[in-house]
Homo-oligomer: A and B are copies of this chain.
Amino acid sequence: MRQAGRYLEEYRKIRAKHSLLEICRTPEIAVEVTLQPVRRFGFDAAILFSDLLVPLEPLGIPFSFAPGEGPSIEAPIRSRRDVEGLRKVVPEESLAFTLEAIRLLRRELAVPLIGFAGAPFTLASYAIEGGPSKSFEKTKALMYEDPETWHLLLSKLASTVRDYLTAQIEAGVAAVQLFDSWVGALAPEDYRNMVLPHSRAILEPLSKLGVPRIHFGTGTAGILREMREAGGDVIGLDWRIDLDRGWEELGEGVAVQGNLDPHLLFAPRDVLCERVDSILRQAAGRPGHVFNLGHGILPGTPVESVQILVDRVHRHRPPSR
């Protein structure tokens, strides 16, 4: 999950001077913001500070963030023609700022760096809805009414993301995470037919590049087997399923990431610690658990709670280095 954010004073200071997209597109600032939480808390890994939507602009889908609002796509994708007009993205050109930030971070960081990108469904949902959505009405309408256009859009997004993550690996990230944040809105049948092949088209070729691939979504308790089929060495779980039950559903031979409800960082210390312990107990004896929140850290999170969490996890399992 994103580690930096408004809950950190040092981040708010930078945000007072720079927009979210300025941070993402200016390697030195992206580096500083990536480092902030690692310095403060002693995390075992860093995740590149960026935004899921960054590849949309070079694809030909410009967007902006209004202050205090979610993203807003200038001209949402609605037709075959819109999809046909999308451009091919060469990450080394139009996303060079990300790759430069990665190269700078490799020099600065003492812990592994995780690269990331949005998955085709989640990117498509923003591109089609025009911004955040609760029910994904327009996205599903396009998917049901015009499956050919849908598949063309998702395959273009998939090849963009595959190239983007490949370039991130070449620039030096130690792992990659594919964020399909909103895929839990789908029925399993739609996931299998309309999404899985496109996520697989990203994850499969990356398997040869020698870094772990984390495949994350939320609200996915009903499609975990399908997410595994799409690929990934690690499957991310949100908090809506017990970690051990999620692992049982996924089967052998795959690691899991998760799965603390980020709201527990607002709970009293003993409640928080008890839940951290419970997750670690469920993971005990199994190989391949990445302790993490089940979704992004909330803006009002008390900083002390994050430190309590990190210390509690470290008490159980010494850092692997």
Listed in ascending order, the chain A residues whose CB lies under 8 Å from chain B are 134-137, 140-141, 144-145, 184-190, 219, 221-223, 239-242, 245-246, 261, 263-264, 266-268, 271, 275, 278, 298, 300
Contact = CB atoms under 8 A, between A and B. Distances in A.
Contact of A221 (B136, B185, B189, B222): B222
A269 to B, nearest CB: 11
A81 B245 CA distance: 39
A140 B266 contact: yes
Q: Which 3 A-B pairs have the closest CB atoms?
A: A222-B241, A144-B267, A221-B222
A186 B240 contact: yes
Contacts of A223: 240-241
Contact of A219 (B186, B240, B263, B271): B240
Contacts of A221: 221-222, 240-241
Nearest to A262: B135
Number of copies of chain A assembled together: 2
B141 A242 contact: no
Contacts of A140: 261, 263, 266
B245 A188 contact: yes
Contacts of A264: 144
Contacts of A186: 240
Contacts of A298: 135, 137
Nearest to A219: B219
Nearest to A245: B222
A278 B222 CA distance: 17
